[in-house]
Amino acid sequence: MHKVLIPTKLDKFAANMLSERGYTVIADAVTPLADLCKANPDTESLIVRSEAITPEIIDLLPNLKLVVRAGAGFNTIDTKYARKRNVDVMNTPGANSNGVAEEVVAMMLAVYRHVLAGDASTRAGNWEKSKFLGHEITGKTIGILGLGHIGQLLVKRLAGFEMKVLGFDPMLAPDKAKELNIELVSIEKIFAEADFVSLHIPENNETRGMINRRLLESMKPGAVLINCARAGILNEDDLRSVKAEKKIFYANDVYPKDAAGPKSIADVADIMLPHIGANTFEANFVAASRAAEQTITYFEQGITKFVVNKSVPDGLDEKYQKLAYVLASVARGYLGRKNNPVRIETSFYGDLAAYEKWLIAPLTAGIADEFTPDQGFNDAEKFLSSSGVELINRVVDNQKNYGESMTIDLATGSNPTLRVSVRGTIAEGRLMISRINNYEHLYLDAKGHHLFIEYGDKPGVIGKIAGLLGEKNINIVDMRAPQDLKHSTALCVMTTNVAVPEILLEKIRESVQAINGFVFSY
């Protein structure tokens, strides 16, 4: 029977369930992982929590077929190398969400009621009741950045405190926000008005260091910042320089590395916990049971629903997955990050129609930073549904002779007239954006840094844009300027040698009275 190695502290339910089904289970959270692998080279499945599954570990297990992360995040697993070795990687999304949401509530109460300092003082024999005059969280305002599983559960858990909830999530539809009694606002408004700010966003190139001096300086005196997401999204030095002056509080549960030793944030954190948001008996049990269930259905029924590193199926060029990501990213850029899409409509022409499910995940990643392209269709479908976004795959007319191409349309809820349609294909091995709305024959190579400016069609605009770029020593590598004769508008797309910074983009938009403007790099 299949052999499963559990080298982590996991609820015994997982081992028991697997053993009852006849699996050989080795559960050992003490022996170093590498030594365990060397002693059990016939292992076919690993169930882990935060253990690092590196290429070296994978190479020690020649029979390995499956790695299950008992939890949501799988950044400690080298999913790409696992794919090269034909090893499937699964996670158990949502299993830990409630534990993290409740941890945030605990931190809020601990800060406002001086729980830690009061305990230490009283244990020392003091009676400093007047010193620990606190606040009540009832009726206060909380701002939540990121409204996925955890963010939405946090809103529900705080309902009894009658708090005003401000939220930011580019993917949450207005109707879904209204259902949860969340007021969708900008990040700037959250930091300026909230008594508590709770972070639940991923760490990536766009979010790394985004909680910076500008945002922190706008916080109300006495406000509380809570980070149970990722360490890298906060600029520690900016917090260090602002904290005392603004008299803000900081509660932290995340670090660059989960390990013993000094923590750089120690001097500015009012509460520090060792990444225990998901460390509850209940979360451990749910994660364990789901990991075991998914292992059983994987080997016995071939169910791969939660595989996060699926390979490209036979017959599909992986470039089309990249194309879906690019077209969705451009469409999202056109709408603007402040306008949440509520509906996605897709058209897959030619042979691509057979691979719809393999194209939805990268499409979703293109419009939502917190979703990764290597997740599967079911994850994408669930993510879009939980965000209140409708997904429609249209029946296509292949007599139009579009070949292997695709069209992705996004529509918003806040402005019914604000929508965008982007079409693309692969030409000579290149990802080509062939149309945006009524701007036909664009034929833009997606590779590089691009500036998109839409404006009322009139002479001199392109020259102004080029001049402003030249002032900043930005070279134009390529340019496209299709017209929409029906609406008397034009779209200037300039490919530049470096990315156009946001401040320059705004200057260009204002200078030419642009209808729309955004940048995209790939």
Alpha-carbon gap, residue 352 to 26, rounded angstroms: 44
User: Nearest-CA neighbor of 19 among 296, 259, 262?
Assistant: 296
Q: What is the pLDDT of residues 476-489, one digit of tens each?
A: 999 999 999 999 99
Four-CA torsion 176, 177, 178, 181, nearest 10 degrees: 130
Give the orientation angle of helix 356-367 with respect to helix 318-335, to 10 degrees.
Answer: 40
Instruction: Calculate ∠ Cα 236-237-238, nearest 5°.
Output: 90
Q: What is the mean pLDDT of the chain?
A: 92
For 387, the token pair is 């965000």
Instruction: Calculate ∠ Cα 281-286-287, nearest 5°.
Output: 100
For 24-52, what is the mean pLDDT? 95
Alpha-carbon gap, residue 231 to 75, rounded angstroms: 14
Q: Residue 10: which pLDDT band, with cuts at 50, 70 and 90? A: very high
User: Nearest-CA neighbor of 495 among 509, 477, 519?
Assistant: 477
Fold match flag (3-95+281-301 vs 97-272): yes
Model pTM score: 0.71
Q: What is the pLDDT of residues 460-480, one digit of tens each?
A: 999 999 999 999 999 999 999
Give the domain ranges of the chain.
3-95+281-301, 97-272, 318-521
Q: What is the pLDDT of residues 369-389, one digit of tens each?
A: 878 766 677 778 888 988 899
**Residue 428 predicted with pLDDT over 80:** yes
Alpha-carbon gap, residue 522 to 445, rounded angstroms: 10
Can you give the C-alpha Rg of the chain in angstroms? 25
User: Nearest-CA neighbor of 191 among 169, 159, 213, 160?
Assistant: 213
For 173-190, what is the mean pLDDT? 93
Neighbours of 122 (CB within 10 A): 13
Is CATH 3.20.20.70 what the domain over 3-95+281-301 is classified as, yes or no?
no
163 close to 139: Cβ distance less than 8 angstroms: yes
Q: Provide φ and ψ at 200, rounded to 5°.
A: -145, 50
Q: What is the pLDDT of residues 272-319, one digit of tens each?
A: 999 999 889 999 999 999 999 999 999 999 888 888 887 677 678 889
Higher pLDDT, 396 or 157: 157
Is CATH 3.30.70.260 what the domain over 318-521 is classified as, yes or no?
yes
**Residue 346 predicted with pLDDT over 90:** yes
87 exposed, middle or buried (CB, 10 Å; 0-12, 13-18, 19+)? buried
Q: Provide φ and ψ at 5, rounded to 5°.
A: -110, 125
CATH topology of domain 97-272: Rossmann fold (3.40.50)
Computed from CA positions of residues 260, 263, 269, 270, in that sequence, does the dihedral angle turn out positive or negative? positive
